[in-house]
Structures are given as structure tokens and as C-alpha cells.
Chains A and B, each alone.
Chain A
Amino acid sequence: MEGELAHIGAGLAAIGSGAAAIGVGNVAGNFLAGALRNPSAAASQTATLFIGIAFAEALGIFSFLVALLLMFAV
């Protein structure tokens, strides 16, 4: 029974991956919108873009990790 509950928990944790996807899309979309408004400033901000994506994605990876832990380690 515990194992089944762990699997359900893993599935719930995996929702976090979708939330991270929303976050990454938000970052990239806003960057694109800003870049189209001011293309000359876009090139200098790609590093910021990647840092932002990395931070947003890290949280999704955390939830993925929680899912994996529930699947395999609990």
C-alpha cells in the first residue's frame, strides 16, 4: 500500500515539471517580446535569459527528483 501511495505521490510531484515548463515558457516568451521591442539590446541579454531559464527549470528538476525518489528510493 505504501508503494502505491508513493507512486501516486510521484505522479503528483511530476506536475511540478509542467509548472516549470510554464515558467520557462514565460521567461522565454517575455524575453522574445522584449527583444522584438528593442532588438539591439537583445544580444547583450541572452546570458540573463539563460540564467533565468536555468533558475526556472531547476525547480522543475527538483519536482522531477522528488518523483524519482518516490518511485525508486522510498
Chain B
Amino acid sequence: MASEAQGAETGGLEFHPMDQFNIESLFGGPIAWYTPTNAALWMGLAILAVIGLMVLTTTKRSVVPSRGQSVAELAYGFVYKMVEDVSGKDGVVYFPYIMTLFMFIVCANFLGLIPMSFTTTSHFAVTVVLAMAVFLTVTVLGFVKNGTKFLGLFWVSSAPLALRPILAIIEVISYFVRPVSHSIRLAGNVMAGHAVIKVFAGFAAIAVVSPIAIAGIVAMYALEILVSFIQAYVFTILTCVYLKDALHPSH
């Protein structure tokens, strides 16, 4: 790909920042829709991580929590409070759904930070499905719960009458951009961080700048840990915001 020889003395600098996102069949052969791939493997590991974090730690059901159990309770309380605060009391019904999204994204993001691992959330296929699931759920829910009143979301009744059609167009566009930005934000952030780390790693091949490159990798890795969590948080909280719009469409 971007394999330009930087100079004769460096022996050619090889940048393959996107190779880490390649989907490969685990046992060779072509990739059909059912083939177990590295993506499937790391999604399975995400399931195991969720089980380990939320099920195995809480088997004792102790009133005074152990370390693992308090992590599980912290995650539970974090998402529960988010749903309750943002979506309101009637949004709590959808808490398991939102918790599923949050746990999957956060586990996949952090598993993707393990060196040599595969980051499932860096693929648009994954995030688009997640975002479309949220978008379709919210839209259907809005119409089921509120009927045609859900369209009031696009009709800004507090604006002057002359402006309302224009605002309605803007609102409709922004409504349909939601799944796009929702999915690209997550995948883009994760992909960008990983690609930048790979670029720094490519520079580490030059002995002179390798200390700087490695320091850069460390710094980017720390930032990626932050981004992994924040993107999961943002994805979840935006889901809550959309859910609030569906439940209470009035502006």
C-alpha cells in the first residue's frame, strides 16, 4: 500500500496501518457468511469477557462485594443511572438492551487493545449493524408509543411559523444522519487510534527515531484506553438520547 522507500539507508519504510483490520478465515479457505473468522473469534472472546465480568464475579451474591463483583455492580449502576437520567423512568424497560450494547462495545474495544488482537468494533459492518439496530428500534418504538405525534419531533413548535418547514427539513436530515454518524464515530475513532499506533510502529524501524516512535506508541495507547471507554460511553449515551426522543418526542 503506502510503501514508499523513504531512503536507501533505511532500507525502505513499510507502512501497513490497515493490515491489522484484515478479516481472515481461522482455518483458511474462502470467507462465506458462516466461516469462523478472526472477527468471530474476538466477538466470542467479547462474550467470554462479558460472562467473566458480569456472571462469574457475581456468583457469590455477597452483600459485601468482592473486587470483581463491585466492578460488575459499578458497570450496572453506571449504565442504569445513565438510562434513568437521560431517557427517564420509562426508559428503564430498555435497560438490558442498552446494557448489551455497552458491554459488547466496551469489551470489544478493550480486547482490541491487546497487541496482535483484532478489533471488531473498528469495522463498519459491526458498527453499522449496531447503529441501525438502535435507529430502527428507536424509530419503530417512537411510532408505536406515540403514533403520528412522533412526527412532532421534526416540527419545532417553539420556532416562528415561517421557519418551521426549513427547520423540519434540517431535523429530518439530522435524524437520518444519526445512524451514519453513530456508526462512523465509533468505528472511525477506534480505527484511527489503531492506525496511528501502527504508523508510529512503522517509524520505530528507523533506529534514530525509534525512542520517539515508541514513546508515541505509549502515548497513543494511553489515549486509546481513554477513547475505548469514552466511545462506548458516547455510543450508549447517544442511544439513550435517541430513546428519549422516541419516548418523549416533544421538543
* A→B interface (CB under 8 Å): 47, 50-51, 53-55, 57-58, 61-62, 64-65, 68, 71-72
Contacts and interface: CB of A to CB of B under 8 A. Distances in A.
A7 to B, nearest CB: 9
Interface residues of B, number: 20
Given A51-B238, A51-B241, A62 B233 contact: no
Interface string B170-201: 00000000000100110011011001000000
Contacts of B189: 57, 61
30 contacts: A47-B82, A47-B86, A47-B237, A50-B230, A50-B233, A50-B234, A51-B234, A51-B237, A51-B238, A53-B234, A54-B185, A54-B238, A55-B181, A57-B185, A57-B189, A58-B181, A58-B184, A58-B185, A58-B188, A61-B184, A61-B185, A61-B189, A61-B192, A64-B188, A64-B192, A65-B184, A65-B188, A68-B195, A71-B2, A72-B1
A73 to B, nearest CB: 10
B18 interface: yes
B24 interface: no
B85 interface: yes
Given A54-B234, A65-B184, 20 more contacts: A47-B82, A47-B85, A47-B86, A47-B237, A50-B237, A51-B234, A51-B237, A51-B241, A53-B234, A58-B188, A61-B184, A61-B185, A61-B188, A61-B189, A62-B181, A62-B188, A65-B188, A68-B18, A68-B191, A71-B2
Main secondary structure of the interface of A (DSSP, over half): helix
B184 A62 contact: yes
A64 B184 CA distance: 11
